[in-house]
Amino acid sequence: MTSTEPARPAVRPTRQRRAVTAALAAFDDFRSAQEIHDLITRQGDSVGLATVYRALSALADSGEVDMLRSEDGEAIWRRCSDTHHHHLVCRSCGATVEVEGPAVERWTSAIAGEHGYADISHTLEIFGTCPACRVS
């Protein structure tokens, strides 16, 4: 072997990537790439939209942010804790609560096992209207 290292990708801390993580830190709910890009722009920075997508994808791969799809299929992103969890998301304002459900995790494994499925992953998201948005 030429090296013991597993071929490091050499990711560089550029101004653009820092701008994206800063924008993510400014939100505490799920936002689209467009919205994140808009915030960066509004703060005077200039980062290409394609670069925002690239940064978000990389962060999602590294587990620093969660990406899920809104009900109309658009990808939305949020910096999240690194432990496995799911989300309770307000359909109207986007307010998000991270939730954990060990029982659900167990249930999915069991169900999959019963049917002989292996290498399991799952998605579970809950959408609703949060208290703040309920003031009719």
Residues that bind a copy of itself (CB under 8 A): 69, 73-75, 88, 90-91, 97, 99, 101, 103-104, 107-108, 111-112, 115-131, 134
Residue 110's Cβ-count burial label (10 Å; 0-12, 13-18, 19+) is exposed
* Least distance from a copy of itself to the Cβ atom of residue 81, Å: 17
Tell me the C-alpha distance between 70 and 52, whole Å: 18
- Smallest distance, a copy of itself to C-beta of residue 1, A: 25
Cα–Cα dist 56/64, whole Å: 9
Site for Zn ion in 96-135 (CB under 5 A): 105
| Distant-in-sequence, close-in-space partners of 48: CB < 8 Å, separation ≥ 6 | 16
Look at residue 129 and give the partner it binds from DNA, a copy of itself, Zn ion, none, a contact being a CB closer than 5 to 8 Å depending on partner kind.
a copy of itself
In the region spanning residues 45 to 104, those forming contacts with DNA, defined by CB under 7 A, are: 46-51, 53-55, 57, 73-75
Instruction: Specify whether the CB–CB gap between 66 and 78 falls below 8 A.
Output: yes
The answer for 119, left when phi > 0, alpha when psi is -120 to 50, beta otherwise, is left
Residue closest to 79 by CA, chosen among 61, 63, 100: 63
Q: Which is nearer to a copy of itself, 36 or 95 (CB)?
A: 95
User: 53 touches which of DNA, a copy of itself, Zn ion, none (CB within 5 to 8 A by kind)?
Assistant: DNA
Task: Tell me which residues touch DNA (CB under 7 A).
Answer: 9-17, 32-34, 46-51, 53-55, 57, 73-75
